[in-house]
Amino acid sequence: MLALIWPSSTSAQSFREQAREAASRGDNQQAVALFEKALTSAMLIFKEGDIELTIRRAELGEAYRAEGRWDDAIAQLKYAWERSKYDATLTKRWNGHEGDMAMSCAEKLARCYQGAGQYENTIKTLQVALDDNVKHGRRLEEGTHFLAMLTDMFLLLNREDEATEAAKEVMEITELTAEENPVHTARVCSVMGGIYLNHQRIDQARILLQRSVRLAAQHLPPADKDRLRVQQQLASILIQDGKLDEAELLLNDTITQSKNSDSADMKILVAAHLALGNAALKKGNPEDVLQHTEDARVLCEKHFSKEHSEYARCFLLSGLARVDLRQRDAARKDLEIAYGVLVKALGQDHPDSTTVKRALDELSSNTVTADPTLKKTP
């Protein structure tokens, strides 16, 4: 019997490790195939309901989500969420591994519903997760995370009162530990500022991001990823405010610190290059824009797949630059590539997707006046 089981156990783990490597480099199609094999192999070893199978299903669901296969992702993550909730209740381990699993699956499932345009299911999932957080005495910081996601959804649906209430709860909870945990406060302000930035609520975003940058400068080292991320976010605001030189200083520092880091976050580095491209577009230097987007694209091709949202944003910005250069066919080609990737990765109603769609529509109508500002996800 051991001779029969051992090869399956070994292959299941091998497939899983290979799948994780594929996912980390952005090869979503390969990751899906390997996670499917890992689940199939694991089913030969574990009984249905075993937490190991729940974990495998959640990993496969996340791989489907990255691939834009919303229905497949929802099926796997919904099962994993419901099963882990049952296990956490049965074992009375809501503050243990089972509870952690349930909350992680809830977040991923909510993001799948959002990508699939099932917004009421998104809200329902987040509200249930928030109720579980309170009911089972889990960490307050986790609650702020789900409230922030609810704020994002309510803003997307123009449900202003509910968005305001959710955001108010986020900050009230955060202020409870602001003095003893300023780093957490900086991170929450960064997340909330990013949400407001995505929805073009610039005044609210500016206040939160400025506070986050101040706290990060006081309490985080120069190359810390969270500090660099919020610098990049604030630079996006400064660009919209017309403070281009100030923005470029922040962005150049972000790039320098990222390159000096042993574990640079490529998404932050790419975003900084694209933001510099935005600043160049504002200055009326489309050739410089194309250089910055080329720098960003080289990083994307090295570290991400061509289905990654950052790769799409390179084409969004280069497309807008080509509009200024009156390279209409090339502009349309770049924008169509960007739109196809963003819709698959984020859904057609995501702010980035609608930005590209608007630019394509205006290009077709020969009245291109697209706002070149790129929106970012927290």
Same domain, 193 and 275: no
Same domain, 13 and 98: yes
Phi-psi region of 92 (alpha: psi -120 to 50; beta: other; left: phi over 0): left
- Angle at 312 (CA atoms; ends 23, 273), nearest 5 degrees: 95
Please report the pLDDT score of residue 292 as a whole number.
95
Per the structure, the complete domain to which residue 214 belongs is given by: 139-218
Contacts 24+ apart (CB under 8 A), 370-375: 370/320, 370/323, 372/278, 372/281, 372/282, 372/317, 372/320, 373/236, 373/239, 373/240, 373/278, 374/236, 374/274, 374/275, 374/278, 374/313, 374/316, 374/317, 375/197, 375/198, 375/200, 375/351
Q: Is the pLDDT confidence value at 47 over 90?
A: no
Per-residue pLDDT tens over the stretch 203-237: 999 999 999 999 999 999 999 999 999 999 999 99
d(Cα 106, Cα 271) in Å, to the nearest integer?
A: 28
d(Cα 263, Cα 230) in Å, to the nearest integer?
A: 17
DSSP for residue 296: H
How large is the average pLDDT for residues 131-136? Answer: 95
Residue 50's pLDDT band, with cuts at 50, 70 and 90, is: confident
Structure tokens belonging to residue 273: 């290059």
How large is the average pLDDT for residues 146-166? Answer: 97
Please report the pLDDT score of residue 310 as a whole number.
85
Per-residue pLDDT tens over the stretch 180-199: 999 999 999 999 999 999 99
Same domain, 78 and 31: yes
CB 31 within 8 A of CB 39: no
C-beta atoms surrounding 249 within 10 Å: 14
Q: Is 252 contained in some domain?
A: no
Q: Residue 339, exposed/middle/buried by CB under 10 A (0-12, 13-18, 19+)?
A: buried
CB 140 within 8 A of CB 176: yes
Please report the pLDDT score of residue 287 as a whole number.
95
Same domain, 102 and 150: no
Q: Is the pLDDT confidence value at 324 over 70?
A: yes
Q: Is 255 contained in some domain?
A: no
- Boundary (domain end) residue, out of 203, 218, 233: 218
Residue closest to 88 by CA, chosen among 106, 77, 102, 109: 102
d(Cα 282, Cα 375) in Å, to the nearest integer?
A: 15
Please report the pLDDT score of residue 260 as a whole number.
82
Q: Is 230 contained in some domain?
A: no
Same domain, 158 and 113: no
How large is the average pLDDT for residues 298-323? Answer: 88
Residue 12's pLDDT band, with cuts at 50, 70 and 90, is: low
Please report the pLDDT score of residue 3 as a whole number.
39
Per-residue pLDDT tens over the stretch 255-310: 999 988 777 788 899 999 999 999 999 999 999 999 999 999 999 888 877 878 88
How many domains does the chain fold into? 3
Helix, strand, coil percentages for the chain (3-state, nearest 5):
80, 0, 20
Same domain, 212 and 298: no
Contacts of 307 (CB under 8 A, 6+ apart): 26, 28, 29, 67, 68, 341, 344, 345
Same domain, 57 and 112: yes
Same domain, 21 and 98: yes
Residue 242's pLDDT band, with cuts at 50, 70 and 90, is: very high
Q: Is 180 contained in some domain?
A: yes
Same domain, 299 and 349: yes
Identify the residue whose tokens are 């199609």: 29
Q: How far is CA 54 from CA 13, 90, 193, 208, 291, in A?
A: 15, 15, 34, 38, 46
Please report the pLDDT score of residue 68 as a whole number.
85
Please report the pLDDT score of residue 304 as a whole number.
78
CATH code of the domain covering residue 175: 1.25.40
Same domain, 99 and 145: no
Same domain, 113 and 1: yes
DSSP for residue 373: P
CATH code of the domain covering residue 367: 1.25.40.10
Among residues of the chain, what percentage have pLDDT more than 90? Answer: 69
* Mean pLDDT (the chain, rounded): 89
Same domain, 1 and 69: yes
Q: How far is CA 341 from CA 333, 356, 375, in A?
A: 13, 11, 15
Q: Is 123 contained in some domain?
A: no
Per-residue pLDDT tens over the stretch 333-377: 999 999 999 988 788 888 888 889 998 998 888 654 444 444 443
CB 34 within 8 A of CB 69: no
